[in-house]
Amino acid sequence: MTSDNDRRRGLLARLRERPAARSRGRRRLGAAVRLFAALMLAGGAYTVFAPGAQAQDNPPLTGAAAEGKALFDVSCITCHGRNAQGVEGRGPSLIGVGAASVEFQVSSGRMPLARQEAQAHRKPPLFTDEQTRQLAQYIQELGGGPMVPEGDNLHEDANIASGGELFRINCSQCHAFGGGGGALSSGKFAPSLRPATDRQIYAAMLSGPQNMPVFGDNQLRPEQKADIIAYIQETLKHDQDPGGFNLGRYGPSTEGLAIFLVGIVALVFASLWIAGKS
Amino acid sequence: MKRRKFDLAATPGKAAVGVDDRFQVATPLRRLLNKVFPDHWSFLLGEIALFSFVVLLLTGVFLTFFFEPAMTEVVYDGSYAPLQGTPMSAAYASSLDISFDVRGGLVMRQMHHWSALLFMAAIVVHMLRVFFTGAFRKPRETNWIIGSLLFWVGFLAGFTGYSLPDDGLSGTGLRIASAIMLSIPVIGSWLTSSIFGGEFPGTIIISRFFIAHVLLIPALLVALISVHLGLVFKQKHTQWPGPGRTNANVVGERFFPRYAIKQGGFFMVVFGVIALMGGLFQINPIWLFGPYEAWVVSAASQPDWYVMFLDGSTRLMPAWEIPIPIGDGYVIPPLFWPTVVLPGILVGLSTMYPFLEARHLKDRKSHNLLQRPRDVPARTAVGAMAVSFYVVLTLSGANDVIADKFQISLNAMTWAGRIGLLAVPPLAYYITYRLCLGLQQHDREVLAHGVETGIIRRLPDGRFVEVHQPLSSANGHADGHGELEYVGWVVPKKMNRLGALGPAVRGFFYPIEKPVEAPVSPGHPPVEARPEREEIGSGESRR
Domains (range + CATH), chain A? 63-143 (1.10.760.10), 160-241 (1.10.760.10)
User: B155 and B306 in contact (C-beta within 8 Å)?
Assistant: yes
CA distances B541 to B523, B533, B534, Å, are 43, 16, 13
Q: How far is B253 from chain A (nearest CA, A)?
A: 9
Q: From the CB of residue B107, how many other CB atoms can be counted at a distance below 10 Å?
A: 18
| Interval A145-165: pLDDT, tens | 899 998 888 988 899 999 999
Chain B residue with CA closest to A174: the answer is: B299
Give the single-character DSSP code of B255.
Answer: I
Sequence-ordered list of residues with C-beta below 8 angstroms from that of A253, at least 6 positions apart, any chain: B300, B302, B305, B308, B397, B398, B401, B402
User: B355 and B141 in contact (C-beta within 8 Å)?
Assistant: yes
CA distances A130 to A40, A65, A194, Å, are 52, 11, 23
Q: How far is A49 from chain B (nearest CA, A)?
A: 57
A–B interface: beta-carbon pairs under 8 A: 215
A264 pLDDT above the threshold of 90: yes
Q: Taking residues A68-94, what's their average pLDDT?
A: 91
Question: Cα torsion at A141, A146, A151, A157 (round to 10°)?
Answer: 160
Identify the pLDDT of residue B533.
Answer: 63
Rg of chain B on CA atoms, in Å: 31
> Which amino acid makes up residue A49?
F
How far is the C-alpha of B221 from the C-alpha of B143, rounded, in Å? 14
End-to-end CA distance of chain A: 148
Instruction: Find chain A residues with C-beta within 8 A of B85's C-beta.
Output: 161
> What is the greatest pairwise CA distance in chain B?
103
Q: Which helix (H) or strand (E) holds B289?
A: helix B286-289
- Residue among B48, B282, B311, B387 with most chain A CBs within 10 A, to mutate: B282
User: B290 and A165 in contact (C-beta within 8 Å)?
Assistant: yes
Chain B residue with CA closest to A231: the answer is: B82
Strands B464-469 and B253-254: unpaired
How far is the C-alpha of A194 from the C-alpha of A231, rounded, in Å? 12
Identify the pLDDT of residue B478.
Answer: 44
Nearest to B117 among A174, A256, A272 (CB): A256
Residues 431-470 of B with CB under 8 A from A: none
Chain A residue with CA closest to B304: the answer is: A252
Nearest to A182 among B281, B290, B400 (CB): B400
Alpha helices in A108-221 (DSSP H): 129-143, 160-170, 172-175, 198-207
Identify the pLDDT of residue A7.
Answer: 54
Helix, strand, coil % over all residues of chain B, rounded to 5: 55, 5, 35
How far is the C-alpha of A106 from the C-alpha of A200, rounded, in Å? 10
> Which amino acid makes up residue B21?
D
Q: From the CB of residue B16, how many other CB atoms can be counted at a distance below 10 Å?
A: 13
pTM over 0.90, yes/no: no
Nearest to A164 among B100, B125, B290 (CB): B290
Question: Cα torsion at A174, A176, A181, A184 (round to 10°)?
Answer: -30
Identify the pLDDT of residue B375.
Answer: 95
Q: Is A96 left (phi over 0), alpha (psi -120 to 50) or beta?
A: left
Which letter, b or e, does each residue of A39-53 get, where b requires 16 or more Cβ atoms within 10 Å of its Cβ? eeeeeeeeeeeeeee
Identify the pLDDT of residue B196.
Answer: 94
Per-residue pLDDT tens digits of chain B, which is 543 residues long: 566 778 888 899 999 899 999 999 988 888 888 888 888 899 999 999 999 999 999 999 999 999 999 999 999 999 999 999 999 999 999 999 999 999 999 999 999 999 999 999 999 999 999 999 999 999 999 999 999 999 999 999 999 999 999 999 999 999 999 999 999 988 999 999 999 999 988 899 999 999 999 999 999 999 999 999 999 999 999 999 988 888 999 988 888 888 899 999 999 999 999 999 999 999 999 999 999 998 899 988 999 999 999 999 999 999 999 999 888 888 999 999 999 999 999 999 999 999 999 999 999 999 999 999 999 999 999 999 999 999 999 999 999 999 999 999 999 999 999 999 999 999 999 999 999 999 999 999 888 888 888 889 999 999 999 888 887 765 544 454 456 788 888 888 877 655 544 555 566 666 666 656 655 555 555 556 566 666 565 555 444
| Interval A220-239: pLDDT, tens | 999 999 999 999 999 888 87
User: A252 and B303 in contact (C-beta within 8 Å)?
Assistant: yes
Choose among B349, B378, B338, B374: nearest CA to B361. Answer: B378
Identify the pLDDT of residue B543.
Answer: 44
Query: Do A249 and B288 make contact, defined as CB atoms within 8 angstroms?
Result: yes
- Is residue A183 classed as helix, strand or coil in its secondary structure? strand
User: B262 and B255 in contact (C-beta within 8 Å)?
Assistant: no
Residues β-bridged to residue B281:
A245
The string of DSSP letters for B87-119 reads EEEHHHHHHHHHHHTSTTHHHHHHHHHHHHHHH
Query: Do A267 and B270 make contact, defined as CB atoms within 8 angstroms?
Result: yes
Give the single-character DSSP code of A120.
Answer: P
Query: Do A161 and B85 make contact, defined as CB atoms within 8 angstroms?
Result: yes
Query: Do A259 and B274 make contact, defined as CB atoms within 8 angstroms?
Result: no
Instruction: Find chain B residues with C-beta within 8 A of A118's C-beta.
Output: 409
User: B471 and B354 in contact (C-beta within 8 Å)?
Assistant: no
How far is the C-alpha of B209 from the C-alpha of B173, rounded, in Å? 13
Please report, for chain B, the start and end positions of each structural domain, with discontinuous segments joined by +: 37-244+251-352
Sequence-ordered list of residues with C-beta below 8 angstroms from that of B520, at least 6 positions apart, any chain: B526
- Is residue B17 classed as helix, strand or coil in its secondary structure? helix
Question: Cα torsion at B96, B99, B102, B107 (round to 10°)?
Answer: 160
> What is the Cα A52 distance to its own chain's centre?
29
Percent share of chain A, pLDDT over 90: 51
Identify the pLDDT of residue B320.
Answer: 93
A52 pLDDT above the threshold of 60: no
Q: From the CB of residue B100, how many other CB atoms can be counted at a distance below 10 Å?
A: 16
Identify the pLDDT of residue B6.
Answer: 81
Nearest to B41 among A160, A169, A275 (CB): A275
> Which amino acid makes up residue A6?
D
Query: Do A247 and B295 make contact, defined as CB atoms within 8 angstroms?
Result: no
Q: Taking residues A181-200, what's their average pLDDT?
A: 92
Angle at Cα A175 formed by Cα B399 and Cα B107, nearest 5°?
80
- Is residue B462 classed as helix, strand or coil in its secondary structure? coil
Mean pLDDT for chain A? 86
In CATH, the number for domain B37-244+251-352 is 1.20.810.10
Identify the pLDDT of residue B503.
Answer: 53
How far is the C-alpha of A203 from the C-alpha of A100, rounded, in Å? 5
- Is residue B418 classed as helix, strand or coil in its secondary structure? helix
Strands B451-458 and B330-332: unpaired
Query: Do B288 and A161 make contact, defined as CB atoms within 8 angstroms?
Result: no
Query: Do A271 and B400 make contact, defined as CB atoms within 8 angstroms?
Result: no
User: B205 and B194 in contact (C-beta within 8 Å)?
Assistant: no
Q: Taking residues A100-105, what's their average pLDDT?
A: 93
